[in-house]
Structure 1
Amino acid sequence: MVRIQDDLFAAVNAEWLENAKIPSDKPRISAFDELVLKNEKNLAADLTELSANLPTDNAELREAIKFYNKAGDWAAREQADFTAVKAELAKIQNLSSFEDFQEQLINLVFHSQAPLPFAFGVEPDMKDAVHYALGFSSPGLILPDTTYYAKEHPRRSELLDFWAKNSAEILKAFGVEEAEQIAADAVKFDALLVPSANTSEEWAKYAELYHPVATDAFVSHINTIDFKGFIKGLVQAEPQKIIVYEDRFYETFNQLVNEENWALIKAWMLTKAARRATSFLTEELRVLGGAYSRLLSNVQEARSQEKHQLDLTETYFSQVIGRFYGEKYFGAAAKADVEHMVFAMIKVYQERLRNNDWLSQETAEKAIEKLDAITPFIGYPDHLPEVYRKLKVGEGTLYEDAVFFDEVLTARLYEKFNEDVDKTTWHMPAHMVNAYYSPDSNTIVFPAAILQAPFYDLNQSASQNYGGIGAVIAHEISHAFDNNGAQFDQYGNLNKWWRDEDYKAFEEKQQEMIALFDGVETDAGPANGKLIVSENIADQGGITAALTAAKREKDVDLQAFFTQWAKIWRMKASTEFQQMLLSMDVHAPAKLRANIPPTNLEEFYEAFDIQPNDKMYRKPSQRLKIW
């Protein structure tokens, strides 16, 4: 029998770890996933019930239900031919040359399913968060991240070979000739992109990726494509700057996207477009299209038709479904209680910042100003984005609806460039079991779906709720002061507000956090301390602040607090999925999230009488404290 003093995660979750089964259509099961499964079941029943009596007072929900019904009409999906798909693929096949490709770029963006070998996105400007900026990056890779392309990676050949074979089968289903060669050429172009792509560690330090380039300099540097006219066509304006997020891709663009590589680029575009179409077609193609992702994570079988039906609907109507979920399942009492916890946590942070023993008073006061400016959103948004009013289900096939929706959403993306940023917009639907901090708006968001046991329950004790959702709330607040969030000011701008000596001290503490996790072994391999440092800072800040708040409530129970903390991180997953997370996920492995942060807190040792010979023991001199 495992003791808490030796392994908090294993001891608290022993029965669950023994009995929990990974669903055959998922790579893992966790406290989060258990709520997802519950939500899927409830929403499928809700949408099916609504299908029999379409809502007349909610136009957006009515269209979502109509799309849901069409996604689940398998008789129609099996009978439909591939005319619409072939028409989309023909837009790529008919590109006769690299010059022709350049001339068609704007049409390809707004009126086709063709992926491009580069990406322009519209996001809040990190240094001017009330306005949007146009960002530039690479199109992404076939494998999960750059580490998978190392010659010594054990799955590199297996995954790339399977992707090529699987893609060829998909292309053949659409009548594409020379399918094997096209799929092989797509892999060749992908290989060209690898050296210029950001690593997962680089993406994790997102505040350091902001690289503004004057538009004139940008379009002058890239000479294989005339981007000046293209950019104006995208946003109907002439931006003063382009934000480059992948410097190596920008620097080597002319060597990657050019006439010499056109055959490979065209094959890559065609293959990607064909793969995407499979989700909206027959059962055979749906299963075939998901085979690569299942192999990647060692998922045993495809999602059921019923779950797939819901998945597709959420793809386009996520906020609509989320608002419906929030209105039905989230109560006023729970919202008031969680709001109480949020403001209690903010108060704790104020005090911890004022009493901090390593920050100057000047920096601490500015940190408190930022803290006081944080806006919490709880439950579900007050309104839906206007774009949902334009998503109308047509008389054609499911795939044709998806093509139309993509055109509407693409147009909306680039329209936003000329508008002010709406900082009340939620970037996560209310039925998603998660939470987030947004540095560009200085907001914390707690969707209704995460406000359930084991994270939160009105019937749980205050200590349990603080060990669960309280720690999650404080975790998100902590992101305002992690290695990325700390570089943004109270208005959401990337702006240096620290004194130099304070930030240097903070960087030293970041290094201590990196060292605390780096190389720690898990069942799937060693942890990468650099990749997961921001989330680990937030975890440590979260549990510390939540503990402080819990101790102020009546009938505090520290054992219940730490036990609940361990419960919310419970997880079982396939080895392949865990290995993928180790290479690219900015969160620490679940067991490390549960076990390491408590060892930095004196109260943990007191609660369970942990002694120097116990495995969970950490010397006082090695206990890390940041916030």
Structure 2
Amino acid sequence: MEALRESVLHLALQMSTYKRATLDEEDLVDSLSEGEVYPNGLQVNFRSPRSGQRCWAARTQVEKRLVVLVVLLAAGLVACLAALGIQYRTRTPAVCLSEACVSVTSSILSSMDPTVDPCQDFFTYACGGWIKANPVPDGHSRWGTFSNLWEHNQAIIKHLLGKQPAGRPLSGPRRRAASRTHLARPGKRTCLPRWKFCVSDTENNLGFALGPMFVKATFAEDSKNIASEIILEIKKAFEESLSTLKWMDEDTRRSAKEKADAIYNMIGYPNFIMDPKELDKVFNDYTAVPDLYFENAMRFFNFSWRVTADQLRKAPNRDQWSMTPPMVNAYYSPTKNEIVFPAGILQAPFYTRSSPKALNFGGIGVVVGHELTHAFDDQGREYDKDGNLRPWWKNSSVEAFKQQTECMVEQYGNYSVNGEPVNGRHTLGENIADNGGLKAAYRAYQNWVKKNGAEQTLPTLGLTNNQLFFLGFAQVWCSVRTPESSHEGLITDPHSPSRFRVIGSVSNSREFSEHFHCPPGSPMNPQHKCEVW
């Protein structure tokens, strides 16, 4: 026993003075604090508890002061580094003074009414200036951002049709159809200029024949890739939100993610229209005649019905679009599980390559999110990832979904126009898509900032880029309507009035209230918020 005690004491003495050479051994010994146990069960102390006190007492006054000074300097250095880090993270981004930034700032300012408190009425704050400057034009019952862009596209089509003899002609039946339908218009008196009716009617019937000209004139080829990237960002953001839902069971959530992944993107135009031979095949059975507008219209209706009847009992064809390239709109098809964005909407104010990302995500980003969310609204959710109408949700999630949506039915049902209430149930699908689209686009923008860093701000606005995101979203919906048109819309339109598409969505957004510092209980920051997706 005495020999063992001497061996242990000798070992302790050696270990307290041994200079370790390898990293692994150094990690092992350094990981042991005073009084810890080695694997062999022997407890070893390397220093006395009072050794530190004796060491400090043995120091001279100068040494003690130097130690204290070093500690204070080290603490000061850490504090300075922390302050610099905070300043770096919260510093105001540089201001963009390029021609494009100044131009878009001017447009934003002219549409705003900065005298309005955004927490009281965000729609009027965002669109008050636009509404004052844009009364309903003669010949129209409503006017808005969509209308303005569509008129811009009409002017382009008019110009293209007017220069047809000098440009690359339409071939075969497409040229005869487009030109004769365009020119053959009876002399009925109308408030609209004749050319607008003719162009609109031609585009409605023969938009795919006009598509190649419009696409070549307005749509940069790499716009497809840029739009595809935005769509991928929105999908990713939507799926991130999907993973956080508390009301959905795991099996249904997994199937919902599979459906989101399977959504097919159609951007700009269908590929077949850029091939003259393929396009001529489409219109080969349609022939227009000179100077007979009514007969041409009847011939086209018959042609359309033959094409539609030929599709019966056939698998859906993803190359067939329900909107022509110049259209200022977008849609989701539940039977094809696809989202479609014609070239006509991939323009300002929805998207421009020179605009801040905050505006692009608030514009076309929200449109993408809106159409994506339609795959999971009160009707779209009933179709699976292959477009089949079948029950793929568990009953528990179906009931939870209905409970979540009742909140929106009640919320929008409390809005009214000229004393007439909005039908919250009739507009439910679009309201779900509006709210889900805004949420997905905002998350996608935040993901972009994390990846690429904060972008420059616009001058004179005094807004952060997060605030600019919501402002860009709201200004897309600036519009005016006659009382009669408003009444008709409340009865027939599945969309809520533009004003409520804005304030209904932002009042459900906690992020909006945070960025605009809206007090709890204010109109744009109600205590109770609705959320489905």
Asked if 1:479 is matched to 2:374, the reply is: yes
Give, as a single letter, the amino acid of the residue that structure 1 aligns with 2:132: E
Q: Is the 8 A contact 1:31 1:571 kept in 2?
A: yes
Name the CA shift for 1:608/1:55 in 2 (closer, same or farther; >3 Å): same
Trace 1:96-115 onto structure 2 (pairs within 5 A). none
Deviating more after overlay: 17-26 vs 435-444: 17-26
Deviating more after overlay: 393-402 vs 17-26: 393-402
Q: Tell me the C-alpha RMSD between the 2 structures.
A: 1.8
- Indicate the residue corresponding to 2:133 in structure 1: 19
TM-score (norm 1): 0.61
In the alignment, the residues of structure 1 paired with residue 173 and residue 240 of structure 2 have an alpha-carbon distance, to the nearest angstrom, of 45
Query: Could you tell me which of 395, 415, 432 is aligned with 2:327?
Result: 432
Query: Post-superposition shift, 1:512?
Result: 1.1
Query: Post-superposition shift, 1:355?
Result: 2.4
Query: Post-superposition shift, 1:495?
Result: 0.7
Q: Is the 8 A contact 1:524 1:575 kept in 2?
A: no
Asked if 1:511 is matched to 2:413, the reply is: no
- Indicate the residue corresponding to 1:626 in structure 2: 532
In the alignment, the residues of structure 2 paired with residue 625 and residue 601 of structure 1 have an alpha-carbon distance, to the nearest angstrom, of 9
Query: Post-superposition shift, 1:522?
Result: 2.2
Query: Post-superposition shift, 1:54?
Result: 7.1
Q: Secondary structure at the match of 1:409?
A: helix
- Indicate the residue corresponding to 2:489 in structure 1: 581
Q: Is the 8 A contact 2:174 2:283 kept in 1?
A: no
Q: Is the 8 A contact 1:387 1:409 kept in 2?
A: no
Asked if 1:534 is matched to 2:429, the reply is: yes
Q: Is the 8 A contact 1:440 1:488 kept in 2?
A: yes
- Indicate the residue corresponding to 1:140 in structure 2: none
Trace 1:178-189 onto structure 2 (pairs within 5 A). none
- Indicate the residue corresponding to 1:166 in structure 2: none
Asked if 1:67 is matched to 2:176, the reply is: no
Name the CA shift for 1:463/1:56 in 2 (closer, same or farther; >3 Å): closer
Equivalent pairs, count: 400
Query: Post-superposition shift, 1:60?
Result: 5.2
Query: Could you tell me which of 219, 224, 232 is aligned with 1:330?
Result: 219
Trace 1:196-211 onto structure 2 (pairs within 5 A). none
Q: Secondary structure at the match of 1:390?
A: coil
Q: Secondary structure at the match of 2:328?
A: coil
Listed one character per residue, the Cα deviations across residues 481-534 of structure 1 (whole Å, up to 9, x for unaligned) are: 000000000010111000000011001111111011003122362111011000
Give, as a single letter, the amino acid of the residue that structure 2 aligns with 1:315: N
- Indicate the residue corresponding to 2:293 in structure 1: 398
Asked if 1:442 is matched to 2:337, the reply is: yes
In the alignment, the residues of structure 1 paired with residue 259 and residue 517 of structure 2 have an alpha-carbon distance, to the nearest angstrom, of 38
In the alignment, the residues of structure 1 paired with residue 341 and residue 416 of structure 2 have an alpha-carbon distance, to the nearest angstrom, of 32
Query: Could you tell me which of 153, 163, 177 is aligned with 1:49?
Result: 163
Asked if 1:592 is matched to 2:500, the reply is: yes
In the alignment, the residues of structure 2 paired with residue 302 and residue 516 of structure 1 have an alpha-carbon distance, to the nearest angstrom, of 39
Q: Is the 8 A contact 2:508 2:525 kept in 1?
A: no
Give, as a single letter, the amino acid of the residue that structure 2 aligns with 1:316: N
Trace 1:307-456 onto structure 2 (pairs within 5 A). 307-384=196-273, 386-395=281-290, 397-417=292-312, 419-456=314-351
In the alignment, the residues of structure 2 paired with residue 395 and residue 5 of structure 1 have an alpha-carbon distance, to the nearest angstrom, of 58
- Indicate the residue corresponding to 1:549 in structure 2: 444
Trace 1:258-273 onto structure 2 (pairs within 5 A). none
Query: Post-superposition shift, 1:469?
Result: 0.6
- Indicate the residue corresponding to 1:489 in structure 2: 384
In the alignment, the residues of structure 2 paired with residue 444 and residue 393 of structure 1 have an alpha-carbon distance, to the nearest angstrom, of 33
In the alignment, the residues of structure 2 paired with residue 65 and residue 408 of structure 1 have an alpha-carbon distance, to the nearest angstrom, of 14
Q: Which runs of 5+ in 2 are unaligned?
A: 1-114, 274-278, 456-464
- Indicate the residue corresponding to 2:458 in structure 1: none
In the alignment, the residues of structure 1 paired with residue 334 and residue 208 of structure 2 have an alpha-carbon distance, to the nearest angstrom, of 21
- Indicate the residue corresponding to 1:275 in structure 2: none
Q: Is the 8 A contact 1:68 1:310 kept in 2?
A: no
Query: Post-superposition shift, 1:326?
Result: 2.0
Q: Secondary structure at the match of 1:551?
A: helix
Q: Is the 8 A contact 1:63 1:391 kept in 2?
A: no
Name the CA shift for 1:508/1:417 in 2 (closer, same or farther; >3 Å): same
Give, as a single letter, the amino acid of the residue that structure 2 aligns with 1:389: N
- Indicate the residue corresponding to 2:151 in structure 1: 37
Give, as a single letter, the amino acid of the residue that structure 2 aligns with 1:565: F
Asked if 1:3 is matched to 2:117, the reply is: yes
Trace 1:219-230 onto structure 2 (pairs within 5 A). none
Query: Post-superposition shift, 1:417?
Result: 2.0
- Indicate the residue corresponding to 2:193 in structure 1: 304
Q: Secondary structure at the match of 2:468?
A: helix
In the alignment, the residues of structure 1 paired with residue 283 and residue 153 of structure 2 have an alpha-carbon distance, to the nearest angstrom, of 22
In the alignment, the residues of structure 2 paired with residue 406 and residue 540 of structure 1 have an alpha-carbon distance, to the nearest angstrom, of 38
TM-score (norm 2): 0.72
In the alignment, the residues of structure 1 paired with residue 325 and residue 193 of structure 2 have an alpha-carbon distance, to the nearest angstrom, of 23
Q: Return the index of the structure with the highest Cα Rg.
A: 2
Give, as a single letter, the amino acid of the residue that structure 1 aligns with 2:354: N
Q: Secondary structure at the match of 1:377?
A: strand
